[in-house]
Amino acid sequence: MRTKVAIIGAGPAGLLLGQLLHASGIDNIILERQTPEYVLGRIRAGLLEEGTVALLDEVGAGTRAHREGLVHDGIELAFGGSRHRIDMKAATGKTVMIYGQTEVTLDLMNARNAAGLTTIYEASDVQPHDFDTDHPRLSYVKDGAAHEIACDFIAGCDGFHGISRASVTPQAIQTFERIYPFGWLGILSETPPVSHELIYNNHERGFALCTMRSTHRSRYYVQCSLDDHVDQWPDERFWDELKRRLDQKAVDHLVTGPSIEKSIAPLRSFVAEPMRFGRMFLAGDAAHIVPPTGAKGLNLAASDAHYLAGALREYYDEKSSAGIDAYSATALARVWKAVRFSWWMTSMLHKFPDTEGFGARIQLAELDYVVSSKAAMTSLAENYVGLPF
C-alpha cells in the first residue's frame, strides 16, 4: 500500500488532519489501534474555541456542532463565597462552544466515511520506519497478518502513549514536564446544569468545576487526591463534596442524580520539542499534554492539524519545504502559550500542598485582581476563547 501521508491515531488530531489534507487533495490513510467504538467511548473535555469550530466547518463536519452545541459568552469564577462573571464576548468579541469531544470525533469519523477515506482500525504493532530518509514507511499487523504502508510523510497523532514520539532517538528530543499533586474526579449525570455558564470554583477544600454537555446533561469535577479511586466516591459522597465547594446560590440550584460516568484523571503539563523529525511530524497529545483547566487539549490538537495541513499543502502545491520546515516552531509557539495559560489557571484555582496561609492569600488576591481589572480580565478572556492561529 502507498499513500502520501500515513497518519497514526484516529483521535481528533488524526481525524481532523485527515479531512484537512483530503480537502486539499492530499490522500492519506489512518491507522488506529482501537475500534471506533472504543475511541468514541473515551469521555473528555468538551469546549471548542471559535477557531476549532471554523476548522470543523472547513472540512464540512461542523453542522451538528452548530445545531447542538451551546454557545457561551462568559464564565464565572467563584471564590470567597461569591461568584464573579468574566464576559468573554464583551472583552474579546469571541465566544466558546460546549460540544463534547466524543461528538467532534463522531462527526469527523462520519465525514471521513462519507469521503470514502481509508481508516484501518484495530491495527496492532504500528511502527514508523525510515522517517529520517525520503522513503518513510509504517509497518503494522492486522488480523494476524503483517502489512506495510509506504508514504511521503508520517503524522504521529497517536496521543501521549503513542508509538511515534517513542520511536525518536532520545538525543533528538527534549521534553518538559510538570506533574500536579492532585487529580480531577469527574462525573456525568442526566441532570440540568446548575447554571447556564461554567463555574470555576476556588475553595479551601479544593477546586470544583460545574460544566455541561447539553441543557439536560451535566459534567462536574472536584479536585481529588492522586491516591483516590472511583470506588471510594459513591455518588452521594461526590455530590456532598461538590456542594461543600460551591456558593450557596449554586447549592440551592444544584440538581443531583445518578452518575452515568465517573472517572479520575491526573493533571500534567508536558511538551516535546521539536514536533518534527525528518519526515515524521507529531500533532496533538502525541507532542503535548495540558491540564484540563481551560480545556485547551482538543483545541491545541486542532491548531496543530491546521498548521500541519497548511505546511503539507504548501509542499505539494507549491513544491516548497518552507511550511514543513517552520511547522514545529509555529505550532510550539501556540502550544507554549496554552501550556502557560492552563498552568496559570490550574495554579490559581487549586489547593496545593503549600496553599495554606501565604499561597492561599496570593490566589485570592490574583482572583480578585482578575475579576476587578479590565486588563487582567481581558487577558484571561483572550486566552480562554483561544489565541489566533
- Positions annotated as catalytic residues are 72, 200, 292, 296, 384
Cα(300)–Cα(303) distance, integer angstroms: 5
SS3 384: helix
CB of 381 to ligand PHB, least distance (A): 14
Paired strand residues for 188: 219, 261
Taking the least distance from each CB to ligand PHB, the nearer of 208 and 371 is 208
Stretch that binds ligand PHB, among 265-273, 291-299, 313-321, 363-371 (CB under 6 A): 291-299
Count residues contacting ligand PHB (CB under 6 A)?
A: 10
43 binding partner (options ligand APR, ligand PHB, none; Cβ < 5 to 8 Å by kind):
none
Residues that bind ligand APR (CB under 6 A): 8-14, 31-34, 39, 44-45, 101, 123, 126, 157-159, 162-163, 284-286, 297-298, 301
Other beta carbons within 10 angstroms of residue 254's beta carbon come to 19
Cα(388)–Cα(51) distance, integer angstroms: 7
Instruction: Out of 292, 310, 323, 386, point to the residue binding ligand PHB (CB under 6 A).
Output: 292
CB of 93 to ligand PHB, least distance (A): 21
CB of 156 to ligand PHB, least distance (A): 25
With residue 365 as reference, give the H or E element that holds it: helix 358-372
Q: Which of residues 32-91 bind ligand PHB (CB under 6 A)?
A: 45-47
CB of 163 to ligand APR, least distance (A): 4
Cα(200)–Cα(246) distance, integer angstroms: 9
Paired strand residues for 185: 222, 264
Taking the least distance from each CB to ligand PHB, the nearer of 69 and 292 is 292
Cα(8)–Cα(43) distance, integer angstroms: 20
Binding status of residue 294 toward ligand PHB by CB under 6 A:
yes
CB of 315 to ligand PHB, least distance (A): 35
CB of 347 to ligand APR, least distance (A): 19
Taking the least distance from each CB to ligand APR, the nearer of 105 and 363 is 105
Instruction: Out of 33, 137, 165, 219, point to the residue binding ligand PHB (CB under 6 A).
Output: 219
263 binding partner (options ligand APR, ligand PHB, none; Cβ < 5 to 8 Å by kind):
none
Other beta carbons within 10 angstroms of residue 261's beta carbon come to 12
* E-strand stretches of 132-205: 137-142, 145-156, 174-189, 198-201
Cα(161)–Cα(254) distance, integer angstroms: 37
Contact of 34 with 121, CB cutoff 8 Å? yes
Instruction: Out of 28, 191, 211, 259, point to the residue binding ligand PHB (CB under 6 A).
Output: 211
Taking the least distance from each CB to ligand PHB, the nearer of 117 and 212 is 212
Taking the least distance from each CB to ligand PHB, the nearer of 100 and 323 is 100
**In this structure, what C-alpha cell is assigned to residue 227?**
491516591
CB of 105 to ligand PHB, least distance (A): 14
Q: Which of residues 161-200 bind ligand PHB (CB under 6 A)?
A: 198
Contact of 304 with 331, CB cutoff 8 Å? yes
CB of 75 to ligand PHB, least distance (A): 8
293 binding partner (options ligand PHB, ligand APR, none; Cβ < 5 to 8 Å by kind):
ligand PHB
323 binding partner (options ligand PHB, ligand APR, none; Cβ < 5 to 8 Å by kind):
none
Any residues with CB less than 8 A from the CB of 109 and at least 6 apart, and which?
10, 15, 36, 39, 40, 119
8 binding partner (options ligand PHB, ligand APR, none; Cβ < 5 to 8 Å by kind):
ligand APR
- 28 Cα distance to chain centroid: 23
In degrees and rounded to multiples of 5, residue 351 shows phi and psi of -90, 120
298 binding partner (options ligand PHB, ligand APR, none; Cβ < 5 to 8 Å by kind):
ligand APR
DSSP 266: E
385 binding partner (options ligand APR, ligand PHB, none; Cβ < 5 to 8 Å by kind):
none
* E-strand stretches of the chain: 2-8, 28-31, 47-49, 70-72, 74-79, 82-87, 96-98, 118-120, 124-129, 137-142, 145-156, 174-189, 198-201, 208-214, 217-224, 259-273, 276-277, 280-282, 288-289
Contacts with ligand PHB by CB under 6 A lie at 45-47, 198, 211, 219, 292-295
